[in-house]
A and B are shown apart, each in its own frame.
Chain A
Amino acid sequence: MDIFLQQLINGLTVGSLYALVALGYTMVYGVMKLINFAHGDLVALSAFAGLTIYVEIFGEGKNSLFVVLSVFVITALIIAFVGVLLERLAYRPLRTAPRLSAVVSALGASLVIQNSIMLIWGPNMKIFPSNLFPSTIWTLHGVVFTFTQVMIMGISALLMVGLYIFINKTKMGTAIRATAIDQDAAKLMGINVNRVIMTIFIIGSALGAVAGLFIGINYRGITFDMGWMYGLNAFVAAIMGGIGNIPGAMLGGILLGLFNAMISGYISSEWAETFTFVLLVVILIFRPTGILGETIAEKV
């Protein structure tokens, strides 16, 4: 039972991270029908940029609320800017091109970001300082919670609720939903599609940036190629939840995190990815539109 509860906590933590990253994928896919392969690498970039900002600007060892908050905000702004730049340079020129051209461009962008990180920060693992968050630990019936884990779950939940409200209650959110349903019709209704897409990239990249910083703070070791695996897992989570569906991405992320943690806890962490993809294929066979996805008749 203890192992179950412990893995539940670990699973919820990693699941929150997957959910944050998955939101970026699902929003872009919903509107542009494009797998943004570079999104995972933005997450990795955020961890590196955040580390540099923290060490160079504020200096290691400072961990007041102001400093930590500034690191998060500045990093999120930078990554959001990179995301917008990515869309402008690599995706916008290909909006009317064949589908696969944009996929190749996204793969290219992923390579560019990943290798830029490697050239700037070097190929070796960088270690996040341990004192960014207080190292408080609570123990409850033998189950260990760290302060960082609680923060990850709490802040992710807050961000997701915020995003849900933004998408469902604001004018821009309505525009995003309309564009996702039919881009041409949205344009005819006077929606500025370019601005919608820009907004999506800003929000998605900023959420990814928060996830990247959390990954650095929680797991400490960061490598230039870690974005690929987080990105792939998050994309799998987005598909599980129903791609293009925002609550689906949140649910998919949490469920995948829990699934991974249970596999690692009870079976073996060496086979974690295998189980993830077997689960994906099973879901795709029995419910191709995902858990929350609706079956839409294909337009001809």
Chain B
Amino acid sequence: MRQSYKIAIVFLIVMGFFPLFSNSSWLAVGTTFLIYSVVAFSQDIILGRAGAFQMGHALFFGLGAYATAILNVHFGVPIIYTFIPAILIPLIMAIVLAGPIIHLKGDYLLVATIGFNIIFIQVIQNDVFGLTGGPNGIFGIDVVRIFGVEFMSQTAIYYMSFILLTLTLLIMRNLDASKYGRAMFYINKDDIAAQSMGINVRYYKLYAFALGSAIAGAAGSMFAIQYSAVSPEAFNVVQSIMFFTIVLVGGSASLPGVLIGTFVMFVLPEIFREFATARYLVFGLAMILTMILRPRGIWPVKFGNIPNYLKKDTK
């Protein structure tokens, strides 16, 4: 795991100096990259570490974004205070929604979480209680103000996202070093064995769900600040599939893998804008090819020096 610390530090240094060398449009791309990396890492906690097949992650990302947008636009709450509900609401919803179905076997959980995401989109599109703005979403989200100072430049938003990503990486580092991280890893490898060793599988999976969703909610809040608007398309199932794919194409539980995945899925399209129509076709082909050539992802995680004869792929 030492290697991933080094990569994380190099990455943070590069991203920390990135605004000095880029114009404002690239800075916006960089901010988007940072926000989506946070979401991808939070998906990685659930899918890559705890091994729960979550394909509705955009739901929690969206809950955070809509919490900030609704509280700010409809109730005039300053952005800085909306961070708290933007983290707590996804956290509570994750426990409420995933609680009853967390015991389901992989594919069933996958379809149920897709279902939650679809229900969420339908709820916001049908403009429940006149709060969500229907298909158009919510516009005119305020800028962040702390003690009267306005943080509205792209650089300021970039550094806020940067701090969020740094915090996320710290949380993941602590998670990996803790009892919780080890339990999740064990559950991922073999949940029946984990259970017979006395690990409360349900508890740790839910823990992963709640933690991942809370982080995604914080990223959602950042997303609302960056675009000063939220709309349903940013949180639909296609986005969830993107997050799911990022983790698996990059490499489950692998820091460089998730970063590469995010870069490929969200930054490359910005660079190759002229191929916009064929973009998803190329993505699809790339997904198939990556999985055939590197079934464990582009940059799979390595755990210590396991002898080759013990490295048998578990299903």
A→B interface (CB under 8 Å): 29, 33, 35, 89-90, 93-94, 96-105, 107-116, 118-119, 232, 235-236, 239, 243, 270-271, 273-274, 276-278, 280-281, 284-285, 288, 298, 300
Query: 15 more A-B contacts (CB under 8 A) besides A98-B313, A300-B192?
Result: A89-B288, A90-B288, A100-B53, A101-B295, A105-B288, A112-B288, A119-B277, A235-B111, A274-B118, A277-B118, A277-B119, A278-B119, A281-B116, A285-B101, A288-B105
Q: Are B110 and A108 in contact (CB under 8 A)?
A: no
CB pair B292–A281 under 8 Å, yes or no, is: no
The list of the 8 closest CB pairs from A to B, nearest first, reads: A108-B287, A111-B284, A277-B115, A112-B284, A97-B295, A115-B281, A108-B288, A101-B295
Output the least CB separation between B50 and chain A (Å): 13
B280 / chain A contacts, CB cutoff of 8 Å: 111, 114-115
B285:A284 contact, CB within 8 angstroms:
no
Most chain A beta carbons < 10 A, residue from B126, B280, B313: B280
Q: How large is the interface on B (under 10, 10 to 19, 20 to 34, 35 or more residues)?
A: 35 or more
Main secondary structure on chain B at its contact with chain A?
helix
Instruction: Pick the residue among A99, A116, A280 that contacts B115 (CB under 8 A).
Output: A280
Bound: A116/B314 CA distance, A: 34
Q: How far is the CA of A235 from the CA of B112 in the complex (A)?
A: 11
| Chain B interface residues (CB < 8 Å from chain A) | 53, 100-101, 104-108, 110-112, 114-116, 118-119, 122-123, 126, 192, 241, 244-245, 248-249, 252, 277-278, 280-281, 283-288, 290-292, 295-296, 313-315
Q: Are A109 and B118 in contact (CB under 8 A)?
A: no
Cα distance A76–B244 when bound, in Å? 32
- Per the bound structure, the CA–CA distance linking A280 and B56 in Å amounts to 15
Report B117 CB to chain A, min CB distance, Å.
9
**Which one, B108, B122, B315, contacts A270 given CB within 8 A?**
B122
* Chain B residues near A300 (CB-CB < 8 A): 192
Cβ of B287 and Cβ of A35 under 8 Å apart? Answer: no
Q: Do A108 and B108 touch across chains, with their CB atoms under 8 A apart?
A: no
Among A93, A111, A280, A284, contact of B283 (Cβ-Cβ < 8 Å): A111
List residues of chain A with CB within 8 A of the CB of B114.
Answer: 232
11 residue pairs A–B, Cβ–Cβ below 8 Å: A100-B53, A104-B244, A104-B248, A107-B245, A109-B284, A113-B284, A119-B277, A277-B115, A284-B108, A284-B112, A285-B101
Question: Cβ of A111 and Cβ of B291 under 8 Å apart?
Answer: no
Cα(A35)–Cα(B109), bound, Å: 12
A29 to B108, CA, bound (A): 12
Contact A105 B291 (CB under 8 A): yes
Q: Which of B241, B288, B292 has the most CB of A within 10 A?
A: B288
* Cβ contact within 8 Å between A280 and B285: no
Given contacts A100-B248, A277-B118, are A112 and B104 in contact (CB under 8 A)?
A: no
| Chain A residues, CB < 8 A from B119 | 273-274, 277-278
Give chain B residues whose Cβ lies under 8 Å from the Cβ of A103: 110, 248
* Given A235-B111, A277-B118, A300-B192: A112 and B281 interface contact (C-beta under 8 Å): yes
Contact of B285 among A101, A112, A236 (CB under 8 A): A112
Report chain B residues within 8 Å CB of A239.
108, 111
From known contacts A239-B108, A284-B101, infer whether A99 and B315 are also in contact, taking CB-CB under 8 Å.
Answer: yes
Quote the shortest CB–CB distance from A133 to chain B (angstroms): 32
Minimum CB–CB distance from A103 to chain B (whole Å) comes to 8
**Of B101, B114, B123, B287, most A-chain CB atoms within 10 Å:** B287
B155 to chain A, nearest CB (A): 35
Residues of B within 8 A of A101 (CB): 248, 291, 295-296
Give every chain A residue within 8 A of B283 (Cβ-Cβ).
108, 111
Closest B residue to A232 by CB, please name it. B114
**Which residue of B is nearest A109, CB measured?**
B288
CB contacts (< 8 Å) of A235 on chain B: these are 111
Does A107 lie within 8 Å of B241, measured CB to CB? yes
CB distance from B88 to the nearest CB of A (A): 23
Expressed in whole angstroms, the Cα–Cα distance for A290 and B104 within the complex equals 12
